[in-house]
C-alpha cells in the first residue's frame, strides 16, 4: 500500500502508480489533495503546471502555490498574446510567490518557415496553434513525468467528461479542477483575494491569443469568444499525446 496524500491510498505494483489507480483514488479529492498527490507521485523536478495565465488561471496557481510554490510552471508565450496577459503573468508571479515560471516561445526558425507573414492564424488556425503552442509545449514537457492543467468539466464540449488523472503518452496528466464548480473557483479567487485578469472587465471571459479571442455576451458560454465562427474549440495542447 502506497500512501500519497492525507486519507488517499492506492494499490501500486510499480514505482509510479498508473493513471487509472490515481484516478480511482482521487475521484472525490480536493484540488489541493490532487496536486499534493501528483507531487508525491513523481517529485517536484518531474512535475510541471501548464498555465495560460488567463481569466481562470489564478485559482489553480493559488492552490499549487499553497502546496509548493517551487513547482515549475510552463507558460506558452506564443507571440500573439495580449499585453494584459503578459502583465498578469508578472502580477501573479509576485502575488503568489511563484519561484519557477518558464516562458516558452515558438522556434524562430519554425515561424520564419511556416508563418513568415504572421497570418497563419487566419488561413489555418490549427497549424498556427501547432507551431506556437503544441510544439513548444512538447519541447517544454520533455523533462517531466507528469503535468497539471486547469481544465474543468463545467466548461463543456470535449472537457465535459475529463477524468481527474489520465495517461498522456508516457506522462501522467492531472486535472485538479475536473470536479470543481464555477462557484468553487470563484471562492478561491474571493478567499485568496486574487486579482482578476485585466481583460475580464472588458467582457473577455476566456483569453487566448489576440487574433482568435473576442468578447462574450452575458448569455454566452465563457469560451464562446475563442475561435468565434469556427468549428475549432481547442488549441491542441489537450488533444495531443506527448511522447
Quote the pLDDT of residue 235: 75
How far apart, in whole angstroms, are the C-alpha atoms of residue 146 and residue 213?
A: 29
Is residue 128 annotated as part of the catalytic site, yes or no?
A: no
- Higher per-residue confidence, 235 vs 122: 122
- Mean pLDDT, to the nearest integer, of 5-25? 68
Of the CATH numbers 3.40.50.620, 3.40.50.920, 3.30.1390.10, 3.30.300.30, which one belongs to the domain with range 2-212?
3.40.50.620
| DSSP one-letter string for 63-120 | HHHHH-TTS-EEEE--S-B-HHHHHHHHHHHHHHT---EEEE---HHHHHHH-TTS-H
Read off the C-alpha cell for 147.
Answer: 503535468
- Tens of pLDDT along 187-229? 999 999 999 999 999 999 889 999 999 999 888 877 787 878 8
- Tens of pLDDT along 86-112? 999 999 999 999 999 999 999 999 999
Phi-psi region of 90 (alpha: psi -120 to 50; beta: other; left: phi over 0): alpha
Q: Give me the catalytic one of 128, 129, 209, 235.
A: 235
- Higher per-residue confidence, 15 vs 170: 170
Quote the pLDDT of residue 159: 67
Annotated domain spans of the chain = 2-212
Quote the pLDDT of residue 152: 85
Angle (CA) 55-60-64 rounded to 5° is 145
Residue 14, pLDDT > 60, answer no
Task: For the chain, give the mean pLDDT.
Answer: 89
Quote the pLDDT of residue 238: 64
- Tens of pLDDT along 110-163? 999 999 999 999 999 999 999 999 999 999 999 999 999 998 887 667 666 789
Quote the pLDDT of residue 218: 86
Between the CA atoms of 180, 186, 192 and 196, what dihedral angle is there, to the nearest 10 degrees?
120
Amino acid at each position: 500500500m502506497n500512501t500519497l496524500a492525507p486519507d488517499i491510498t492506492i494499490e501500486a505494483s510499480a514505482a509510479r502508480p498508473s493513471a487509472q489507480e490515481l484516478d480511482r483514488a482521487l475521484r472525490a479529492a480536493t484540488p489541493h489533495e490532487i496536486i499534493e498527490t501528483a507531487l508525491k507521485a513523481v517529485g517536484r523536478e518531474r512535475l510541471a503546471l501548464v498555465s495560460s495565465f488567463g481569466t481562470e488561471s489564478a485559482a489553480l496557481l493559488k492552490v499549487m502555490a499553497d502546496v509548493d510554490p517551487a513547482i515549475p510552471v510552463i507558460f506558452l508565450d506564443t507571440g500573439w498574446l495580449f499585453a494584459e496577459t503578459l502583465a498578469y503573468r508578472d502580477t501573479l508571479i509576485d502575488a503568489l510567490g511563484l519561484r519557477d515560471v518558464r516562458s516558452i516561445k515558438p522556434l524562430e526558425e519554425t515561424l520564419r518557415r511556416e508563418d513568415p507573414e504572421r497570418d497563419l492564424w487566419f488561413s489555418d488556425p490549427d497549424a498556427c496553434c501547432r507551431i506556437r503552442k503544441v510544439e513548444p509545449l512538447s519541447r517544454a514537457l520533455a523533462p517531466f513525468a507528469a503535468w497539471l492543467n486547469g481544465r474543468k468539466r463545467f466548461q463543456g464540449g470535449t472537457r465535459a467528461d475529463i477524468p481527474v488523472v489520465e495517461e498522456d503518452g508516457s506522462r501522467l496528466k492531472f486535472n485538479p479542477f475536473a470536479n470543481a464548480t464555477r462557484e468553487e473557483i470563484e471562492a478561491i479567487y474571493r478567499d485568496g483575494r486574487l486579482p482578476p485578469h485585466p481583460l475580464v472587465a472588458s467582457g473577455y471571459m476566456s483569453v487566448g491569443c489576440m487574433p482568435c479571442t473576442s468578447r462574450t455576451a452575458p448569455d454566452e458560454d465563457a469560451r464562446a469568444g475563442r475561435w468565434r465562427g469556427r468549428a475549432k474549440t481547442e488549441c491542441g495542447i489537450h488533444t495531443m499525446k506527448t511522447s
